[in-house]
Amino acid sequence: MSRGPLRRAGQLAGAGLMAAGLVLAAEAAYLPAKAKVGQWLLEAAWAETLETGRPARPWSWADVAPAARLSAPALGAAAVVLASASGEAMAWGPGHVPGTAPLGTPGLAAVAGHRDTHLAFLAKLRPGDLLALETPGGGVQRYRVTRALVVDSREWRFPVALEGPRRLALATCWPFDGDEDGPMRFVLFAEEIAAPETPAA
């Protein structure tokens, strides 16, 4: 029996595997790439939003609009937060959870994002760390991380608080290195630092 047919079969299998792998890898790599590109465009839209005071669309046909910019200065991490926390919007950036207080207003404002792209930096935050939140009307507010919870999303809800101190709840899926959709969520709480640490000039 000659080796020809076997070699051909092996080559075919090899080429097939390469192609399948390429498609799978490209599809997977596309998600973080989109998340990255989305944030670039959103950063530009955010700058425009701040300048004009009106929500600017990051690209002409976008159905998302930036609502705030969240950063963790110590980590050098930042993300433009969108006004919607729908699955589509969250592909581009973390989103404000409807039903909670608007970002930068009194009460608890919740932001949800992906553990494996925009909000990956949550894993590195510890109580006492600082966060900055910039909103179009409210300037930059500073928050201090107070605590974190791991909750079951089938049971747990963001508490409704529309007054009182300004608080943030940042949520992603849990665990951080997980690779499956599960019901568990990581929620990080932060509270506004009442008196600015640097005295106003």
Partner 1 sequence: MTPRITRLAAAFAAVMALAQGTAPAQQAGAPGAAPTETPAAAPALLTLDDVRTGRLMLRTDEPGKYVPAPLVSTKIDMQITGTVARATVTQRFTNPTEEWVEGIYAFPLPEDSAVDTLRMRIGDRFIEGEIKERQEAKEIYEAAKAEGKKAALVEQERPNLFTNSVANIGPGEVIVTQIAFQQSLAPKDGRWEVRMPLVVAPRYNPSPVVQVVEFLQDGWGVTDPVPDRDRIEPPVADPRAEPAGQMRNPVQIDIDLAPGFDIATLESPSHEITVAEPGPGRARIALAGPAPADRDFLLRWAGSGAEPQAALFAEEKDGQAHMLLMLTAPELGEARPVRPREVIFVQDVSGSMSGESIEQAREGLEMAVKRLRPEDAFNIVIFNDQFAVFHDAPVPASPENIAAAVTAVRALEAEGGTEMLPALDYALSGAPAGDRLRQVIFLTDGAVGNEAQMLALIDEKLGETRLFTVGIGSAPNSYFMSRAAEKGRGAHVYIGDLSEVAERMTALFTKIETPAITDLELRLPEGVTAEVLPSPLPDLYAGEPLAVALRGPEIAGEAVLSGMRGAQPWQVRLPLDRAAERAGVAKLYARRRIASLEALRLSPAVEVSGMERLDREILDTALGYGLVSRLTSLVAVDVTPSRPRGTGLASAEVPLNLPKGWDPEAFLFETPEAAPQLDRAMLQRIAPQRTQAEAEAAGAPVPKGALNWRQSLLLGLLLMVTGLFTLVVTRLRRVRRPQVRAITVTAADSGRA
Distance, CA of 132 to CA of 48 (rounded, Å): 19
Cβ at position 23, least distance to partner 1 in Å: 7
Residue of 113, 15, 27, 107 whose CA lies nearest to 72: 113
Cβ at position 156, least distance to partner 1 in Å: 7
How many other β-carbons are positioned within 10 Å of the β-carbon of residue 147?
Answer: 10
Out of 76, 126, 154, 199, point to the residue binding partner 1 (CB under 8 A): 154
Site for partner 1 in 83-122 (CB under 8 A): 84-88, 90-92, 95, 97-100, 110, 112-117, 119
54 is a site residue for partner 1 (CB under 8 A): no
The smaller minimum CB distance to partner 1, of residues 147 and 157, is found at 157
The smaller minimum CB distance to partner 1, of residues 46 and 174, is found at 174
What mask of x and - would describe binding to partner 1 in positions 159 to 178, judged by CB under 8 A?
A: xx----------xxx----x
Site for partner 1 in 120-149 (CB under 8 A): none
Q: What DSSP state is assigned to residue 57?
A: P
How many other β-carbons are positioned within 10 Å of the β-carbon of residue 182?
Answer: 12
How many other β-carbons are positioned within 10 Å of the β-carbon of residue 31?
Answer: 13
Residue of 81, 198, 15 whose CA lies nearest to 7: 15
Cβ at position 84, least distance to partner 1 in Å: 7
32 is a site residue for partner 1 (CB under 8 A): yes
- CA angle 149/103/46 to nearest 5° reads 115
Site for partner 1 in 182-201 (CB under 8 A): 185-187
39 is a site residue for partner 1 (CB under 8 A): no
The length of the chain is 201
> Mapping DSSP to helix (H, G, I), strand (E, B) and coil, where does residue 22 land?
helix
Out of 20, 74, 140, 150, point to the residue binding partner 1 (CB under 8 A): 20
